[in-house]
Structure 1
Amino acid sequence: MNKIAFLFFISFTLFTSCQKQTFKNIDVEEVLGTDYFPLHIGDWWVYQVDSIIYDLEKNKVLHDTIHTTVKLIITDTFSLGDDIQAFKVERFQRAFDSAPWKALDSWWAAKDEVGAWSNEGNLLFQKLTFPVKIGRRWEGNAHIGEHVSLMVHEDILEQVFDGWTYRYVALIQPEKIGEVSYDDVITVREVDNTLDAPPTIDYQKAYSKYAKGVGLVYKKWILLHDIDTSPDPSIPFADRAEEGFFLEQTLLEYHVQ
């Protein structure tokens, strides 16, 4: 069983891009939608990350709230072969605005005309598929493999990435996120098992928003587990969950060439 520490997911984002190309006066980025995932060396993004960890300890559910700021900086490139260029993304973290940035780790990202990928904590996610089209679906976690578990504090969420089907649910929408207004935002539903019926044992909801020419501007993940095999459905899941986490990530500022 693979176990991935929650630290890797405190800021769960990456970005990719390439320069615009034209062919017979057709803007390839415009047609495919690759400019929702921009990347150049020197680009950076700063996020506010808020999370709540659910932890069952001595028959009592403890809610550990974490507030932090995370910065991603594109620092280098390397080849993945087949003319695909990958970009190194270094991550930094600080607890408050006046604190110095502390290095966390580095990830990498890449894209082509098919899709955009990010390798985060040695897990390869396909964040977007091209061309961007409403209702289009893809298996964004297909490269992770089955039965990967996520370690949250001292608990383990089993097979947490299994069965996710990503889908574009909103395109070209003006939206205000945090204190910033964006003219063109797309929304990706990565998983949401609350749509058909109220969940009983596992609650999974994950959405990400990307702004044109900016990259990821917002993400919200709620992954909770109730170990009670006969839960009371009248109690809201967030009130009876015993394991898991809530994560919200909002773009504060950025520089994209």
Structure 2
Amino acid sequence: MRAFLYLFTVCLFFASCREEKEFLQMDSIEDFYPLQVGKSITYRLDSTIFARSGTVIEVHKYQVKHTVIQETEDNGQKAYLVQRLINNENATGPWVNNGTYLVIPSSRKVETLDNNLRVVNLQAPLRQDFSWKGNSQLPFAPYQQLFEMSTGYDMNTWDFYYASFGNEDIQGQHYENVWTVEQRDESLNIPPTPQTSIGFKERSVEKYAKGIGLVYKDFQLYEYQGAGGSDNPEAHYIGFGITMWMIHHN
């Protein structure tokens, strides 16, 4: 019996060592958001807007180039300044400045700061179903003033989590070692029917490929209000949507 207990203890010890070794050999989150001055990724971007007081759905198509232009600091921590340039769908026009944002990397997380909205896009450890509050630093209802809608009011409580890892084909391109970060997938009465009085959609997901960075993003935040009463003579949408995927990178 003592010999059995001894062997059992030894097995547990080596099993724990193997588990620790496997954890130590896991990829770093920095592998999935590589940063250096001059690094550039170009995306195809489909922007969904609701024109004519929200009664018409339009999808505007662009190319957007994200380029790391400078190493800087954020509250004393190393950060990188990224410039966005925008062009038409086929990039046949001039590249026009579309603003900048910060990326703040560390061994434990990668944050972005864009239009004063700070998000933790990646968080260690890289493990299936690991979750974190990626929007916890956002204010309550961050888009309410822009769109006068209640959809997304609780964004700062959203649970981000690693939904899957593996090889993927996205818009005709093959990627190795892709983490999918699910952020939100809630909807009601979308698409609406003629009888729908109210509906909404909150959809947010990102995909990161090892050695490249962000290769896909889908962010939909809008609500639908059916026609009714003098204050709302026509059914309409409020909000916006963005879908983007990588075209090429250096």
What displacement does 1:147 show? Answer: 2.6
Check whether the contact 1:34–1:130 (CA below 8 A) recurs between aligned residues: no
The higher relative CO (CA closer than 8 Å, separation ≥ 6) is in 1
Residues 1-257 of structure 1: matches in 2 within 5 Å? Answer: 30-55=26-51, 57=53, 61-81=55-75, 84-95=77-88, 96-150=90-144, 155-158=147-150, 160=152, 161-171=155-165, 173-194=166-187, 201-228=199-226, 242-255=237-250
1:227 to partner: Cα distance: 2.7
TM-score relative to the length of structure 1: 0.74
State the 1:144 CA deviation. Answer: 1.3
Kept in 2, the 8 Å contact 1:48–1:249? The answer is yes
Distance 1:213 1:29, change over 3 A: farther
Provide the C-alpha distance between the structure 2 equivalents of 1:246 and 1:210, rounded to a whole number of angstroms.
20
Deviation, structure 1 residue 32: 3.1
Q: Distance in 1 between matches of 2:204 and 2:34?
A: 22
CA distance in structure 1 between the partners assigned to 2:52 and 2:105 by the alignment? 40
Q: Which segments of 5 or more consecutive residues in structure 1 lack a partner in the other structure?
A: 1-24, 231-239
CA distance in 2, matches of 1:27, 1:245: 40
Q: Cα deviation per residue 1:39-87 (whole Å; 9 max; x = unaligned)?
A: 1111000000012212463xx71112200110011011112355x2100
CA separation of 1:48 and 1:34: change in aligned 2, threshold 3 A:
same
Query: Looking at CA atoms only, which structure, 1 or 2, has the larger radius of gyration?
Result: 2
Shift of the alpha carbon at 1:163? 3.2
Cα–Cα, structure 1 residues 137 and 26, in superposed 2: closer, same or farther, change >3 Å? closer
The answer on whether the counterparts of 2:50 and 2:240 sit within 8 Å (CA) in structure 1 is yes
Amino acid at match of 1:210: Y
Structure 1 distance, partners of 2:23, 2:81, is 26
> What is the alpha-carbon distance in structure 2 between the residues aligned to residue 80 and residue 142 of structure 1?
18
- Deviation of the 1:92 alpha carbon: 0.4
Deviations 1:103-147 (A, max 9, x none): 111111111122100011121111010111111111111111213
TM-score (normalised: structure 2): 0.76
C-alpha RMSD over aligned residues:
2.7
| Whole-angstrom distance in 2 between the partners of 1:189 and 1:208 | 7
- Which protein has the bigger helix share? 2
Q: Indicate the percent of aligned positions where both proteins have the same amino acid.
A: 21
d(CA) in 1 for partners of 2:227 and 2:183?
A: 26
Q: CA deviation at 1:29?
A: 8.7
Secondary structure of residue in 1 paired with 2:31: helix
> Structure 2: any 5+ residue segments left out of the alignment?
1-20, 191-197, 229-234
Matched-pair contact (CA < 8 Å) for 2:26–2:126: no
Task: Classify 1:224/1:179 alpha carbon distance in 2 versus 1 (closer, same or farther; 3 Å).
Answer: same
SS at match of 2:148: strand
